[in-house]
Structure 1
Amino acid sequence: MSAPAQAGPRPVNIQQLIDESPVSRFQLLIIVLCFLIVAVDGFDTAAAAFIAPAIRAEWQLTPAVLGPMFGAGLFGLMVGALVIGPFADRFGRKPLLIFSVVFFGLASLGAAFSHSITELTWWRFVTGLGLGAAMPSAITLTSEYCPERRRSFLVTIMFCGFTLGSAMGGLLAAQLVAEHGWRSVLVVGGAVPLVVAVLLWALLPESIRFLVLKDPRSAAAARNLARIAPKADLAGAVFVGPKKAKGLPVQQLFSRNLVGGTLLLWLAFFMSLLVYYLLTNWLPTFINAGGASIQQAALVTMMLQLGGTLGGVVLGLFMDKVNPHALLASAYVGGGLCVTAIGNSTGVPGLLPVAVFGAGFCIAGSQIGINALAAAYYPTASRATGVSWANGIGRSGSVVGSMVGGLLLSFHWGFETIFAIAAAPALVAGLAIFLKGRLQSGATLDAAPVAQVAQEG
């Protein structure tokens, strides 16, 4: 009597299993760890602005000399996102995150012992390299562990760590500089990431999708899935979902199915960060020039960050329920109207803080949202590269935005004209997102809520 034939390998769709399971403590742990990454990223990114007045006083510097220090950090962020970030598609999300966090932590410690503005400027560039690589990988890893029905909301919640980290930096810096000098801010900004790196090494898993892309029978992927769906039978499973693609990850961004969306995402990121950094860096100056005190200008500008944090949460929640492209496009248009209202707030009591809050809610909130949109757009094989390059192109917009404010002031135009011009990039970003949605809809690559592209299967 012949033995019964053994069943063949059982295919298990990893995204389907994640979608069918409730969000587990394991997934929440990943979100918390990535939240910590972008929080220390936000703290270090904003550190230069917090310590600039003390540096200027200690080294007897003019404001113009401080400019390259700000620019060096932003340029480092751009280079880090473009050059280092894509290595997460080759070596894995976890190794790249740990490397990046350790890298910018050590660079911040090095900056704390600078003896000249030139030396400090170079250290800020090196710090920016690590910061620019860390954020896209955190977005990518979070996205790959989220159920599709809640992906946008969970990614935006994680990304709010950046704005909260920046705000926390302001609160800590005031006390640290007063008690221990400006170098103490950089020491804290370097020491905390090293502690976070230890937590990442001990607790952060590799992306399931990346593991399966490398080995469809990955034992590590099975262990991680078991922590999400403990009742699932994964014995002898062959995991399906992500597919290998030909060519380098950067080449894949320009494949026939992705090139249009890639270019439109880049345009949206560039314009979004241009107007955001224009407001972040120059709004206090504009408000002060309009007759408000420095303290009043600072309080009003805080509404931009507050609005951005709340906007990221609210927009992320609704991105999972309605068409995300239409939602974000509308938000950018609303942001443009709010920026215009800032320039027309003179003589209208209470309008200025409301308009600034609205600009933050719509523009900064949408900037958080399009990170989730980018992570959902690209397949696993090129996801980290796609998010990294979108952020890198966007960072070039932040450099432009940081310089445009001074140019607009030099023309001696009225505030109405200046802020009408400043609103234009937000409208262009909204148009780019709208066109991307129409492009994907026509190619049947996207449906509301955000979905995986067709190559994922």
Structure 2
Amino acid sequence: MPRINIVDVVNEGKFNRFHIGLLICCCIIITFDMFDLVIYSSVIPILMKEWSISTVQAGVMGSYGIFGMMIGAILFGILADKFGRKNILILCVVLFSVFTFLCAFAPGPTTFSLFRFIAGVGIGGVLPNVIALMTDYAPKHMHNMMVSIVMCCFSVGGILAGLIGIYFIPHLGWKSVYWVAALPILLIPFMVKYFHDSPAILLVKGRLDELRLVLTKVNKKVTLAPDVEFEPISVSEKDSGSPVAALFQNRRAQGTVMIWIAFFMCLLMINGVTTWLPNLMLNAGYALGSSLRFMIVFNVGAIIGTLIFGSLADKFGVKKVLVPMFIVSAISMTFLGFKNDVLLLYVIVAITGACTMGAQNISYSFVSQYYPSLMRSTAIGFASGIGRIGGIVGPTFGGYLFTLNLSAQMNFVSFAIPGIIAAIAFSFVPLKLAFENKMIKKPA
């Protein structure tokens, strides 16, 4: 009896109800993942007054969630590759939902910060596992598009947080926005029943009945008899040692280091710009109202760019799309420092959002395809964790620029430089090994 290659079965599948259900559920999870992170900004003024805390204390309270995300991304990425993505993802959803909900009952800043930290650990652990899960089961021709759709839900979560804050806080008080955070718990029964670990993990752990079941869901054209044999996981998928060490084995060291540099620089640029864009535009001579509208246009551009370039990445290859995106992001950001017609400026801001946040979103898809399944969550978790460090540095970097009293042009050029570095780093990520292992489709 011929052996079945599980990767080929998944890649050759057609988008169907299984993928739709997985996509919708992951979109909801990511939406609330972001909601739980950013809702804090809506209640800061109220908490400062109610608990008599300073702006510095409020900033420290906010940072606990970010540090929790760093830890969660790395920790749960490693654990998912060892114990399976399904249970780890469920645990992450429980953590960020329950402990964000408990923030409503915190008696003071200390308890509130502790709850935010634990919730942050769960929030950080969600992303590497959702992206890895999407990549595990997406048809080959839709890898980047499915991940791009999920990543757009970060922006949806931010918008939802703003709307909930606007309508709930005046009528029900600040605690009401944290009650909403408990809603993802309703997804747990669905996840328990319908989610599966990656095919590679099911095969390695000998859960063959479940593997046959999920492969027939993914690819309706496949009929698997009870005695069917599966091709074993290749040597490259089972590198010796831990999945962390495997990131640097089998000719992956250069790619791993370059990916980490790119993620650090990209999130430094994004977090710095999104934090300081209104101030930067004010400094460039625009009114405050226009500056805030630029921020909205920036995020809309990010959503549109992620979807468009995600589709192009499926067609032409991720790396061929990513490197030009980072270069264009640096160029467009440089043009923001010059006084332009308002309509033209909106276009430039939208392009900047599309090619900065859009590139970052697609970068996650690239990482998920670059590494074999048995180390995929670990790889995404570490890239995300390293990126979060850049995300923390970004706002501080922007604040430092303002102390130098530079011109508007130089401020934007300073934020454009990390984009160039990210482009250079991604250009040095070797794809030969990924081609050999059929992780990334080789261009014709």
What is the TM-score with the length of structure 1 in the denominator?
0.90
After superposition, give the CA deviation of every residue in 1:61-90 in whole Å (9 maximum; x if it has no partner): 433332112222111111111122210001
Q: Does 1:228 align with 2:218?
A: yes
What CA distance in whole angstroms lies between the structure 2 residues aligned with 1:431 and 1:71? 30
In the TM superposition, 1:313-352 aligns within 5 A as 313-344=307-338, 346=339, 348-352=341-345
What CA RMSD, in Å, does the superposition of the two structures yield over aligned residues?
A: 2.0
What CA distance in whole angstroms lies between the structure 2 residues aligned with 1:81 and 1:67? 22
Q: Paired residue for 1:4?
A: none
Q: Does 1:99 align with 2:58?
A: no
1:430 to 414, 418, 423: 423
1:40 to 32, 36, 45: 32
Amino acid at match of 2:213: R
Q: Paired residue for 1:358?
A: 351
Change (3 A) 1:192 1:446: same
Q: Does 1:265 align with 2:259?
A: yes
Contact 1:104–1:127 (CA<8 Å) still a contact in 2? yes
Contact 1:76–1:125 (CA<8 Å) still a contact in 2? yes
Q: After TM superposition, give the deviation of residue 309 of structure 1 in Å.
A: 1.0
Amino acid at match of 1:128: G
In the TM superposition, 1:382-401 aligns within 5 A as 382-401=375-394
| Number of aligned positions between the proteins | 437
Q: Paired residue for 1:156?
A: 148
Contact 2:284–2:337 (CA<8 Å) still a contact in 1? no
What CA distance in whole angstroms lies between the structure 2 residues aligned with 1:95 and 1:102? 11
Q: Does 1:369 align with 2:369?
A: no
Q: Does 1:205 align with 2:192?
A: no
Q: Does 1:413 align with 2:428?
A: no
Amino acid at match of 1:155: V
Q: After TM superposition, give the deviation of residue 35 of structure 1 in Å.
A: 1.3
Q: After TM superposition, give the deviation of residue 385 of structure 1 in Å.
A: 0.4
Change (3 A) 1:396 1:147: same
What CA distance in whole angstroms lies between the structure 2 residues aligned with 1:421 and 1:263? 23
Change (3 A) 1:203 1:186: same
Q: Does 1:174 align with 2:161?
A: no
What CA distance in whole angstroms lies between the structure 2 residues aligned with 1:419 and 1:211? 49
What CA distance in whole angstroms lies between the structure 2 residues aligned with 1:371 and 1:280? 19
Amino acid at match of 1:178: P
What CA distance in whole angstroms lies between the structure 1 residues aligned with 2:209 and 2:253? 35
Amino acid at match of 1:16: D
Q: After TM superposition, give the deviation of residue 245 of structure 1 in Å.
A: 3.0
Amino acid at match of 1:238: E
Q: Paired residue for 1:67?
A: 59
1:282 to 276, 279, 284: 276
Q: After TM superposition, give the deviation of residue 368 of structure 1 in Å.
A: 0.7
After superposition, give the CA deviation of every residue in 1:310-341 in whole Å (9 maximum; x if it has no partner): 11111110111113212111001111112112
Change (3 A) 1:282 1:117: farther
What CA distance in whole angstroms lies between the structure 2 residues aligned with 1:292 and 1:177? 31
Q: After TM superposition, give the deviation of residue 362 of structure 1 in Å.
A: 0.2
309-318 or 69-78, larger mean C-alpha shift: 69-78
Amino acid at match of 1:106: V
Contact 1:93–1:137 (CA<8 Å) still a contact in 2? yes
1:452 to 422, 434, 439: 439
Q: After TM superposition, give the deviation of residue 100 of structure 1 in Å.
A: 0.3
Q: Paired residue for 1:5?
A: none
Unaligned runs of 5+ in 1: 1-8
Contact 2:248–2:256 (CA<8 Å) still a contact in 1? yes
Contact 2:13–2:220 (CA<8 Å) still a contact in 1? no
Contact 1:374–1:386 (CA<8 Å) still a contact in 2? yes
Amino acid at match of 1:257: R
In the TM superposition, 1:208-219 aligns within 5 A as 208-215=199-206, 218-219=208-209
After superposition, give the CA deviation of every residue in 1:258-303 in whole Å (9 maximum; x if it has no partner): 1111111111111111111111212123334555454433222011
Q: After TM superposition, give the deviation of residue 237 of structure 1 in Å.
A: 1.4
Q: Paired residue for 1:128?
A: 120
Q: After TM superposition, give the deviation of residue 60 of structure 1 in Å.
A: 4.0
Change (3 A) 1:347 1:141: closer
After superposition, give the CA deviation of every residue in 1:18-57 in whole Å (9 maximum; x if it has no partner): 2333212112211111111111111112112222233234
Change (3 A) 1:282 1:119: farther
What CA distance in whole angstroms lies between the structure 2 residues aligned with 1:242 and 1:376? 16
424-433 or 172-181, larger mean C-alpha shift: 172-181
What is the TM-score with the length of structure 2 in the denominator?
0.93
Q: Does 1:145 align with 2:134?
A: no
What CA distance in whole angstroms lies between the structure 2 residues aligned with 1:242 and 1:303? 46
What CA distance in whole angstroms lies between the structure 1 residues aligned with 2:316 and 2:290? 38
What CA distance in whole angstroms lies between the structure 2 residues aligned with 1:116 and 1:281? 27
What CA distance in whole angstroms lies between the structure 1 residues aligned with 2:119 and 2:278? 26
What CA distance in whole angstroms lies between the structure 1 residues aligned with 2:290 and 2:48? 22
Q: Paired residue for 1:3?
A: none
After superposition, give the CA deviation of every residue in 1:352-393 in whole Å (9 maximum; x if it has no partner): 322221111001001110101000011111111011111111
SS of the equivalent of 2:141 reads helix
